[in-house]
Structure 1
């Protein structure tokens, strides 16, 4: 039944969702700067990593569920719900009196954040035509680049002049403004129909993914890969995931429609997002260690080598948005894949003598590749599915990048530890060194080592980190191979009145 609706004020809606996305994106970088002060106040250093892992875990676990809920009940209520939950978590995180409380509230933040990025991107797909959407996606990508650049500096300002709690409380005014803007200016023309929420599927998916993500986070560190907890969690994942597949096949409105994964374009896009997620975490996690320890440069120089990736990403995304209607999806995706290979080559041949500028150039090319591929995939996916599955299709693509980050951290971290351990066993036994000895080198506590032992550790880290960059290059090659099998597909532009259910 048609009915008259208000018209969405698109510039104000876009401003509102950009504020929400910035709030969510900056949490990944601003907290890192404040963590030494947080640990100093709250203690609990052994739980340090869970402040980050807890947030990312809940973010990844809820993305797919929110995407489906947005398809069932509309984008507006789901993104507002997510922002509210995120703000509650932010408020409570700033009031934490122990590390365990902070981790709990970071979990709550993550639950809210899972709705923000995918639904914000889906709203853009709803209210803009494909010609406009290709340009707007460049603006959204810029949000992540800007947050990565200013996040650490802003965190430092809050810690030095105010209190670490403001790292979390700064979200409150941004979130409130975003809610007001979305509520007032975004209007959806939804048909009032009853929906059956797939609660069983949601629960099974949540348990399965939780088990797998915890294995990736804790495996090889807190637990050995063949330990009982890891084996039990993998078994739980397999059982729940198999039952989940059967549940999705027989339910009327599955939480993850398996049909979208049968589309070649979406299958390729999601697979590439998984492999590029590994590349991204490989640089973000291990490049600063190489620049500081192996090259002997200060932290600010190490930060520069990552900042170039954050600069290349939005530039490439914006250019891609302007060219996509002229060149099509596949050629631009291939150019992005080649850029990943070029960046991978810079790291493959990285050595201490080449210096941080070489590493910065490599990061820039990786950023170009990430910006081009992610923009192409989001636009192509949103343009290839109907409104009723656009939310979950968009969310599936972003979920695969999160999975790539998690898998990459575990896989590349395992490669690093194994290579360093082998080196130490072969050359460092007489100096009583171990893999954990690298902690002292990374933190600057080198007084406990002799000059010979210190040199051995640096040699071992150089070799181990180079092995990680071989892995990064391999995943860049895999990404390009996957892109080359991407199907040729024409760019369609369905009218908003029929395709988007928004006015």
Structure 2
């Protein structure tokens, strides 16, 4: 298959980049970029809104121990579909894949809004994730097609502004909806944004491709989904629903390992593998994927548990907790804008190394948060960590895109996004396992005066998050609050360890990235 996009013209077009083939006409690049920013906002707004609404969702639907599934299932379905979409994008074009993703994302948003139980909401989030698997990587891929490496330094600032706006708007809307309307509106708000994005792309984005027959690697996709699905199930339920050394845990985790091993075997023989193994065979691609894995896990860890810490431990409102989390997304785009200029001077890897230092610093600051810390301290830690992630994620992604041509850019971008989504999915499961194990241990050995008053039919943490402390007494609420602090503190320690590993992943990348050649 050979893809032939519509030719660009004039200086500054994608033709100036030897690794890219232009898509669309140069006169359309502005409107197309605006449409891409709207599409990116579709995913960015959702990721910042839901984190602050978790306590309200738990209050209405119950099941604090299940809430990590709201992140894990979304990120898992996103992760396993990203490489499929990347493959389709290189054969069918970026535009149809983007439209399918937006449609599925909006369908999932509607289903989330009408969910009547936590299991129903989890299933709806899975549908959302399938759509998001196309939206985010296609946005990045189209930017890689339209702009040269030098131009992307400026465009990265525009895209970063989307996350900055979402950082303020998302948590604010999440807090307002949770306190004054309903958490369901955090999903309904996606509908007008998605409709405008689809209209803008349909009107302004033009591409011409030579379509060829392709074979979908259904076996690989199924094994990938089953393998990581069982891995996440084992991590979230182990030590909570059943002991870690039980037959259930061993069977689930062993089956997951077998499925993933079989996936590798299938990919080696597949004519068109869903995730080509060559994307992990070059240092720049492997290092970029491992870095993206750590970035995804760090992001979901802080996004999931910082609002829980702020509301459940510090006793702030959903709105204040949202602003604390917003500091992460404010620092990220500001740093991403700087990264675009910085990596043109000192290189991709060195820019990411600077970011890694900030990530470690920010993660270390979260471990210093205490049960009586000021909320601004939590926001400051999130901001520093966001700066580090912005200086790390952007240059590594551009480095990956710059070493391949147009016909492979969708695959490598999809693989990088897959790694990031996988890191988030597995990270949510691991951090959920840490938090659940800590809470289970605390609730299994409470003081006698507290244990007798812990209700059996309510997930005990909901006593704090759901505002039931008055009906149970201050002693019970204080114990639950202290237990929740221990759980979030252990998660923050895990974030610090992961930050160090992320710096090691960056060091795997070569200092200079050369254009790759493939047989």
* In 2: Cα distance, 1:461 partner to 1:163 partner: 25
How big is each residue's C-alpha offset from its partner over 1:158-217, in whole Å with a ceiling of 9 and x where there is no partner? Answer: 678877665444433333332233233223343343333323323332332333333344
* In 2: Cα distance, 1:426 partner to 1:214 partner: 26
Equivalent residues of 1:44, 1:99 under 8 A apart: yes
Q: Which residue does 2:400 correspond to in 1?
A: 381
* In 1: Cα distance, 2:509 partner to 2:71 partner: 34
Equivalent residues of 1:211, 1:233 under 8 A apart: yes
Q: Which residue does 2:62 correspond to in 1?
A: 45
Which of 61, 65, 71 is equivalent to 2:84? 65
Change (3 A) 1:221 1:456: closer
* In 1: Cα distance, 2:428 partner to 2:120 partner: 25
Comparing 307-316 with 101-110, greater Cα deviation is found at: 101-110
User: What's the C-alpha RMSD, in Å, of the aligned pairs?
Assistant: 3.5
* Contiguous gaps of at least 5 residues in structure 1: 495-503
Change (3 A) 1:312 1:44: closer
Comparing 373-382 with 353-362, greater Cα deviation is found at: 353-362
Matches for 1:241-320 after TM superposition, within 5 Å: 241-320=260-339
> How far is the alpha carbon of 1:404 from its aligned partner?
2.2
Q: Which residue does 1:466 correspond to in 2?
A: 489
Which of 73, 78, 83 is equivalent to 2:97? 78
- Tell whether 2:379 aligns with 1:356: no
Equivalent residues of 1:219, 1:410 under 8 A apart: no
Q: Which residue does 1:335 correspond to in 2?
A: 354
Change (3 A) 1:63 1:218: farther
How big is each residue's C-alpha offset from its partner over 1:266-317, in whole Å with a ceiling of 9 and x where there is no partner? Answer: 2122222222333223322222333344444444433332221111000000
Equivalent residues of 1:216, 1:406 under 8 A apart: no
> How far is the alpha carbon of 1:489 from its aligned partner?
1.2
* In 1: Cα distance, 2:356 partner to 2:5 partner: 46
Which of 510, 513, 518 is equivalent to 1:487? 510
- Tell whether 2:435 aligns with 1:416: yes
Equivalent residues of 1:53, 1:217 under 8 A apart: no
Secondary structure of 1:151's counterpart equals helix
- Tell whether 2:400 aligns with 1:370: no
Secondary structure of 1:177's counterpart equals helix
> How far is the alpha carbon of 1:428 from its aligned partner?
2.9
Change (3 A) 1:263 1:222: same
What's the TM-score once normalised by structure 1's chain length?
0.85
Which of 6, 21, 25 is equivalent to 1:7? 25
How big is each residue's C-alpha offset from its partner over 1:344-394, in whole Å with a ceiling of 9 and x where there is no partner? Answer: 222233334552222222111100011111101110110122322221211
Comparing 169-178 with 377-386, greater Cα deviation is found at: 169-178
Equivalent residues of 2:52, 2:318 under 8 A apart: no
User: Between Structure 1 and Structure 2, how many residues are aligned?
Assistant: 493
- Tell whether 2:36 aligns with 1:17: yes
- Tell whether 2:242 aligns with 1:211: no
Q: Which residue does 2:424 correspond to in 1?
A: 405
Secondary structure of 2:374's counterpart equals helix
Equivalent residues of 1:217, 1:406 under 8 A apart: no
* In 2: Cα distance, 1:21 partner to 1:132 partner: 19
Secondary structure of 2:469's counterpart equals coil
- Tell whether 2:181 aligns with 1:174: no
Q: Which residue does 1:501 correspond to in 2?
A: none
* In 2: Cα distance, 1:219 partner to 1:269 partner: 31
Change (3 A) 1:450 1:94: closer
> How far is the alpha carbon of 1:223 from its aligned partner?
4.8
Q: Which residue does 1:133 correspond to in 2?
A: 152
Change (3 A) 1:121 1:304: same
* In 1: Cα distance, 2:56 partner to 2:403 partner: 47
* Contiguous gaps of at least 5 residues in structure 2: 8-23
- Tell whether 2:172 aligns with 1:149: no
Q: Which residue does 2:256 correspond to in 1?
A: 237
* In 2: Cα distance, 1:331 partner to 1:425 partner: 48
* In 2: Cα distance, 1:257 partner to 1:443 partner: 46
* In 2: Cα distance, 1:148 partner to 1:230 partner: 38
Q: Which residue does 1:475 correspond to in 2?
A: 498
Equivalent residues of 2:78, 2:129 under 8 A apart: yes
What's the TM-score once normalised by structure 2's chain length?
0.83
* In 2: Cα distance, 1:65 partner to 1:71 partner: 10
Q: Which residue does 2:20 correspond to in 1?
A: none
